Amino acid sequence: VTLRLSADDYGVAAAERLDAAARAYVDGGAADEATLRANRAAWQRLVLWPRVLRPLADGHTRTALLGREIEHPILLAPVAYQRLAHPDGEAATALAAAAQGAGFVLSTQSSVALETVARLVRDEPGRGPLWFQLYLPHDRGFARELLARVSAAGFEALMLTVDAPVSGVRDRERRAGFVLPPGVSAVNLAGQPRRGPGPAGAFCQGLAAQAPTWADVEWLRAETALPLLLKGILRADDARLALAAGASGIVVSNHGGRTLDTAIATAEALPRVTAAVAGRVPVLVDGGIRRGTDVLKAIALGASAVLVGRPQVHALAAAGAQGVAHVIRLLRDELEMAMALGGCATLSDAGRWLLGGDAPG
Ligand code: GLV
């Protein structure tokens, strides 16, 4: 048995389990995959400047997110169609997250019903936040029904994806001939009214004309009492617009390099967004986070928490719920070691000094 000791070890294990088409869907990015690579490289390029001989006795990874205490700042990102990786799909990843006190964000395009997932975990003691990622359905009636189901099921916040008005140029996926296998589908969207085809030759087949705008964010804000996070923001000006629109949180994300290729790496975009937001709402970040040091760097740049996408799918493919629980634990252990070795007893100790800025007082 090969020991799996890191998120990347699960990537290797998953490559042996998933067929080539599923692998292309999970691991691929858009076009030349420049952003996919840049995300990881940007975290690695940031160098740590550890402080030594700091008091670490009462150290912990606890922090707060949308008014509740969480054990550690690692959440599972929304990832579509997880039954591609394992028959238990999102039921397994949600249970693993709950067992590890990690926040869980269910995708609109989950392959297990949102009610089933919520029922499995919502009463678990020690679970982290339970949120729902939203692709805003074009049909307002269907959108209202979906929102009602989401809050009735017990989801505690909505995370609206704003960086995918159309799909990216998914060359790797298309080369592999990826199609959803029978039995895997976006079950939450069954019964959604079909979008009419756009006029021939229209901008992005007319899809972009139906994409959400800031006006739809306001509609959503008025339609639901749940806190609303916007996922896919990379710029300070958009972050300010998000605050003005009443967002309760911002996720700095480029969709794991799956939408606009050559978009800026999230580690590079993060500091401008946290500066613009100035602590008014939590800023989360995803994209290329594979090590505890990456998590600590995100926190040092002002993030409240991070999300991991592909590692959870890799672990799910390799070892089901236990694999996912293990990869979360590995990341948390690495974070604790990075904190101790960097001179941080708590996450609030981490700051720009850790990345070469001026030392605190
Ligand atoms: C869906 O959001 C995807 O990136 O495949």
| The pLDDT of residue 151 | 98
Tell whether the model's pLDDT for residue 173 goes beyond 90. yes
Top mutation candidate among 27, 33, 39, 79 for ligand 1, by most atoms within 8 Å of CB? 79
φ/ψ region of 158 (left if φ > 0, alpha if ψ in -120 to 50, else beta) reads: beta
1 falls in which pLDDT band (50, 70, 90)? low
pLDDT of residue 194: 76
Q: Are 160 and 228 in contact (CB under 8 A)?
A: yes
Closest atom of ligand 1 to 135 CA is 2
Q: Ligand 1 centre and the CA of 79: distance in Å?
A: 7
Q: What is the pLDDT of residue 210?
A: 79
Residue nearest to atom 1 of ligand 1 (CA): 80
The 10s digit of each residue's pLDDT in 147-170 is 999 999 999 999 999 999 999 999
pTM above 0.85, yes or no: yes
- Burial class of residue 324 (count of CB atoms within 10 Å of its CB; 0-12, 13-18, 19+): buried
Considering Cα of 213, then 218, then 224, then 230, what sign does the dihedral take?
positive
* Nearest atom (ligand 1) to Cα of 78: 2
Strands 63-65 and 68-70: what pairing? antiparallel
Share of the chain above pLDDT 90, in %: 92
Q: Is 40 in the pocket of ligand 1 (CB under 6 A)?
A: no
Say if residue 75 is exposed, middle or buried (CB neighbours under 10 Å; 0-12, 13-18, 19+).
Answer: buried
Read off the amino acid at residue 151: S
pLDDT band at 361 (very low <50, low <70, confident <90, very high): low
Given pLDDT bands bounded at 50, 70 and 90, which one contains residue 358?
confident
Residues 318-335 pLDDT 10s = 999 999 999 999 999 999
Among 258, 259, 313, which is best to mutate for testing ligand 1, by the most ligand atoms less than 8 A from CB?
A: 258
Mean pLDDT of the chain: 96
pLDDT band at 204 (very low <50, low <70, confident <90, very high): low
Give the pLDDT score at 103.
Answer: 98
Could you give phi then psi for residue 136, rounded to 5 degrees? Answer: -65, 115
Residue 205's pLDDT band, with cuts at 50, 70 and 90, is low
- Residue 61's alpha-carbon distances to 33, 147, 252, 340, in angstroms, are 33, 33, 21, 11
Q: Which of 72, 86, 138, 255 is catalytic?
A: 255
Distance 260 CA to ligand 1 centre (A): 12
On the question of pLDDT at 202 being above 70, the answer is no
| 310 ligand 1 Cβ < 6 A | no
- Report the pLDDT value the prediction gives residue 221, as an integer from 0 to 100: 97
Q: How many angstroms does the Cα of residue 3 sit away from the middle of ligand 1?
A: 30
Q: Return the CA Rg of the chain.
A: 20
Q: Is the CB of 255 under 6 A from ligand 1?
A: yes
Between the alpha carbon of residue 315 and those of residues 1, 210, 211, 225, 360, the distances in Å are 15, 35, 33, 34, 38
Digit-coded pLDDT (tens) for 49-101: 999 999 999 999 999 999 999 999 999 999 999 999 999 999 999 999 999 99
In short, whether 80's Cβ falls inside 6 Å of ligand 1 is yes
Query: Is 86 a known active-site residue?
Result: no
